[in-house]
Amino acid sequence: MLIVMSPQATDAEVQAVIDRIESVGGTAHPSRGAEVTLIGAIGDTDTEVRVSQLELDGQPGVEKVVPILKPYKLASKEQHREASIFDIGGAKIGGDHFALIAGPCTVESREQLLTTAEIVKDAGANMLRGGAYKPRTSPYSFQGLGVEGLKLLAEAKAVTGLPIVTELMDARDLEPVLEVADVIQVGARNMQNYGLLTELGRAGRPVLLKRGLSSTLEELVMAAEYILKEGNEAVMLCERGIRTFESAYRFTLDLMAVPVLKQMTHLPIVVDPSHAAGRRDLVESLSLAAAAAGADGIIVEVHPQPEEAICDGPQALRGSEFAEYARKVEQVAQIAGKLPFLEAAQTA
């Protein structure tokens, strides 16, 4: 339920509404805009019924009470009309701000990571990605370097100053991941791991939540709601390709998700062309299309020598191609209304 206060409502009237919501066990999330204050009343179904029985529309300062029929609330545009913008270690994302997140699929070695980090930094990318814990289809495949990989990410961050995006698969690894991650990635296979999402909501660190391989957009937004509900407002949603009947490529990159998610939610939308395509030759065109569709960021895999990569080599952009690729993405993103985002690495 959403309570729209009248533009003339006083602080005392806003507080009186909050008090009444809380008196029946609801949680009130006020959101003060330049002109109008909105109060989201959140609770389980029973609480929602009790809040509706309060008949708040008769209360001083209340303009109207809007039942929120959508199952997601905190993520919705009704709750937060302006696009959310997050500052991640100096890299902004959301609104007019686009972030290019690049790096290897997985941290393989000190040399591989630092070389990639320098390539990405020199091209002006805004964040470095790299997995230390990898969700592999086969339990016999390389599973990531774990804590050793996290230490290398910390070193790459110290050398380049780039904020780090890295995946957490198991809440038991949260503590070491929190030591280095500026953004914690939740992989597609964990999108509906609600225990993990709740832990991340409590941890308070920005989260990049990837869409499940067979999840609807509503399921993705509901998963984000688990994180937001715990008080963590910094959630970015990521389209990374879904399973369809098409077999000519690995996944179908659902670019319609970008404008549609923007109608559903205020959260920044990131696109991952690498995992959708599974092959390098498609990555640039998908990236340009994502930027044109209004994405707030791209997360892309880059490797200095993709032929030698332990994981996802065929889809990794070559280090030598990356700077040119980044420039093209920036051009298209600007046409779609974003500010220039490539950092001038020479000044670093």
Establish if 234 lies at the interface with ligand PEP (CB under 6 A).
no
Q: Quick check: helix, strand or coil at residue 106?
A: strand
Establish if 188 lies at the interface with ligand PEP (CB under 6 A).
yes
List the structure tokens of 274: 């690498």
Strand partners of residue 41? 28
C-alpha 82/C-alpha 18 separation (Å) is 22
Note whether 124 and 345 are within 8 A (CB): yes
First to last CA, the chain: 48
Strands 235-239 and 164-167: unpaired
Establish if 302 lies at the interface with Mn ion (CB under 5 A).
no
Establish if 250 lies at the interface with ligand PEP (CB under 6 A).
no
CB 105 to Mn ion: min, Å = 3
Instruction: Look at residue 80 and give the partner it binds from ligand PEP, Mn ion, none, a contact being a CB closer than 5 to 8 Å depending on partner kind.
Output: none
Establish if 95 lies at the interface with ligand PEP (CB under 6 A).
no
The one-letter code for the residue type at 3 is I
Q: Which is nearer to ligand PEP, 65 or 316 (CB)?
A: 316
Note whether 266 and 77 are within 8 A (CB): yes
The pattern of x and - marking residues 105 through 124 that bind Mn ion according to CB under 5 A reads x-------------------
Number of residues that bind Mn ion (CB under 5 A): 2
List the structure tokens of 35: 């002109």
Phi, psi of 117 (to 5 degrees): -60, -40
Which span sits near ligand PEP by CB under 6 A: 109-117, 141-149, 187-195, 285-293? 187-195
Establish if 316 lies at the interface with Mn ion (CB under 5 A).
no
Which span sits near ligand PEP by CB under 6 A: 60-68, 90-98, 183-191, 222-230? 183-191
> Which positions touch Mn ion (CB under 5 A)?
105, 312
